[in-house]
Amino acid sequence: METSRLVSDPRVLVVAASDDRVDSLCVGLDSRGWSTITARSADGAVAALGDFRVEAVVIDAAGFDLRALCGALRIADRPRRLPILALCAPGVDPATTGADFVMTTTPHPVQAANRLEQMVRAAVAEDEAELRRDTFRLRGIEPPVAALDRTPLRILAAGAPDRRFLALSNALTGRGCEVVAAPTPYTAFDYLHEQPFDAAVLWGADDHAPALSIAAGMKRNTRLYHIPIALYLRGEPGDLGELYGRGFAEVAPRDTSELELADRVHTLATWHRRLQDVRATLDAAEGTELTDGTTGLFKRDVFAGHLARLSDAMQARRQPLSVCVLRIVETDALTQAREGGWLEKALPQIGAMVSRLVRAEDMPARLGAEVFALALPATIAAEARVAAQRIAAVIGCTAFDAGADRSPFVTEFTVGCAQMQDGEGPAALLERASADLDRG
C-alpha cells in the first residue's frame, strides 16, 4: 500500500498524486479530529480500505480517472455506502464523476470537516432507509411511499439589490432554480417560515452583520438548521474558519464569478434536496400500523425485528451501533399527573418531540408505557449518550398540562446506553442498555 502518512485510526482516506492541493487540508482535518491517511495511487487507495475502517474519502481528481476510481473504491468498501468528496477542475459535471459531492476549490478545513460530517450521516441515513424497507417487507408490509418533492430547487437570495447579486440570481434561474429575493433579514425570515428552501445565498455587507443575523437565526431553528447557506462577500472575508464555524456551507470571496458561485449553490441545493428525500422516506412510516398509536414511535416488536437486522448490517459494514433506553422518572408531580390521566395525554407530545429530536437515521420506539428506546447506527456509546441526554433535557424543559387548579408538570428521564460488542446479539445489547438505566 502506498501511503505518505500512517495513522492508527484514520477517519478519512485522501487520494492524491501529490500534496500540492491537499497538504494543508490534511493538516487542518487532523487538527480537528478527522485523522487522515493518504494514498498516492488507485491501488493504494483500494488497499487502504481493506486495512482501515475509514468513514469517508477525499479525492484530488488530478491525474486520476475519477469515475473509475470512485467505482473501485465503492466495490472495495461493500456493503457500506462510502461517502466520496472529489476536488475537480471547474466546469466538471458532478453527475459524471461518480462522487457524492464535488468541489472546484480546496475547502477550508472547517468547511471540509462540516461537509464530511454531513456526508457520513447522509450515507448512514440512506443505508438505514434501505434496511428499514427490508424490515417492513419481512413483516409482510409494503414499505410506505414518501411524497418526494419534484419541484424546481428553491433558493433564497437575501440582501440589498446589487449588480453582482442580481447576476447571481439570473445565473441560478438559468440552471432551473426558483429564486426568491429578500432585501432585508425580516423579509428573509418571513419567506423562510412560509415556504421550504433548498439553499440560501446571503449578500455580505462590509461587516457581514445582516448575513450573520440571518445565519444565526436559521441555525437556532430546528426546521431551518439543515438548509445550506452560502455567503457572497462584498468586503474582506476576515476569519474564514469563524464564518464556517457559524454555519456557512460556502463562503465566496468578492472576486468569485457569479457563474462559479451559481454552480456551487446549485450543488449545495441538489445535495439538500437529496437529504430531504431520504428524510421523507424514513419518516413515511409515521401514522402506519408500524407505529404506536399514542406516541407515533415505532412499536416494540418492529423495533426488535429491525434491531436484529441493523446489528448484522453494522457488523458487516464494520460500523458501531449503540442503543439508548429512556425511562420516565417517578416523582410526586408525575404520580398526581398519572392519576388524573394527564401523563397519558402528554405522551403524544412527548413522542412527537422524540421523533423531531433524533437524527433521520436513528430509530425511536416505545418499549413500554413510559419507556422509550433509540437505535443509533454508526454511533459510538459516548455520542449516543450525549444524544439521548439532549433529548431528555429538551423534553424536561417542557411543561405539560395537569388540569385546572394544578401547576403544569414536567417529565424527567433516566438514560441507559450500550454499544454493540463483537459477536453480541441484539437482545443482549438492548438488555445492557436497559441495565445501564439503574447506573445512569
Tell me if the bond preceding 79 is cis, omega within 30° of 0: yes
Q: Are residues 337 and 373 in the same domain?
A: yes
Which of 70, 87, 108 delimits the end of a domain? 108
Which of 91, 108, 125 delimits the end of a domain? 108
Q: Is residue 216 situated within a structural domain?
A: yes
The pLDDT score that the predictor gives to residue 123 is 92
What CATH number does the domain containing 66 carry?
Answer: 3.40.50.2300
Q: Are residues 169 and 264 in the same domain?
A: yes
CA angle 415, 416, 417 (to 5 degrees): 125
Q: Are residues 321 and 267 in the same domain?
A: no
Stretch (H or E) spanning 365: strand 363-368
The pLDDT score that the predictor gives to residue 65 is 94
CA angle 206, 209, 213 (to 5 degrees): 150
pTM: 0.84
Which of 241, 258, 283 delimits the end of a domain? 283
Q: How many CB atoms lie within 10 A of CB 90?
A: 10
Q: Is residue 289 situated within a structural domain?
A: no
The pLDDT score that the predictor gives to residue 245 is 84
Q: Are residues 306 and 240 in the same domain?
A: no
**Residue 59 is placed in which grid cell?**
479525492
> In sequence order, what are the residues at sequence separation of 6 or more whose Cβ sits closer than 8 angstroms to the Cβ of residue 319?
53, 80, 124, 377, 378
pLDDT in tens, 296-331: 999 999 999 999 999 999 999 889 999 999 999 988
The pLDDT score that the predictor gives to residue 205 is 67
Q: Are residues 306 and 279 in the same domain?
A: no
> In sequence order, what are the residues at sequence separation of 6 or more whose Cβ sits closer than 8 angstroms to the Cβ of residue 135?
302, 305, 306, 309
- The SS3 call for residue 249 is coil
Q: Are residues 320 and 197 in the same domain?
A: no
Residue numbers in the chain where pLDDT is lower than 70: 1-9, 205-207, 235-237, 440
Q: Is residue 435 situated within a structural domain?
A: yes
Q: Is residue 119 situated within a structural domain?
A: no
Q: Is residue 228 situated within a structural domain?
A: yes
**Domain containing residue 241:** 154-283
Rounded CA separation 310/91 (Å): 40
The pLDDT score that the predictor gives to residue 323 is 97
Rounded CA separation 154/257 (Å): 21
Decide: 202 and 229 in contact? Cβ < 8 Å.
yes
Write the CA distances from 203 to 104, 157, 241, 249, integer angstroms: 21, 8, 18, 14
Q: Is residue 132 situated within a structural domain?
A: no
Decide: 354 and 366 in contact? Cβ < 8 Å.
no
Q: Are residues 345 and 416 in the same domain?
A: yes
Residue among 35, 70, 69, 75 at smallest CA distance from 55: 35
Between the two ends of the chain, the Cα-to-Cα distance in Å is: 45
What CATH number does the domain containing 392 carry?
Answer: 3.30.70.270
Q: Are residues 306 and 272 in the same domain?
A: no
Name the region of 238 (left: φ>0; alpha: ψ -120 to 50; beta: rest).
left
Decide: 55 and 11 in contact? Cβ < 8 Å.
yes
Q: Are residues 225 and 354 in the same domain?
A: no
Q: Are residues 184 and 276 in the same domain?
A: yes
Q: Is residue 122 situated within a structural domain?
A: no
Q: Are residues 172 and 268 in the same domain?
A: yes
Q: Is 145 exposed, middle or buried (0-12, 13-18, 19+ CB in 10 A)?
A: exposed
Domains in the chain, number: 3
- The SS3 call for residue 84 is strand
Rounded CA separation 388/354 (Å): 9
**Residue 332 is placed in which grid cell?**
410526586
The length of the chain in residues reads: 440
Q: Are residues 390 and 327 in the same domain?
A: yes
Q: Is residue 79 situated within a structural domain?
A: yes
Q: How many CB atoms lie within 10 A of CB 182?
A: 20
Residue-wise DSSP of 292-317: -TTT-SBPHHHHHHHHHHHHHHHHHT
Write the CA distances from 120 to 36, 126, 200, 291, 378, integer angstroms: 15, 10, 22, 27, 9
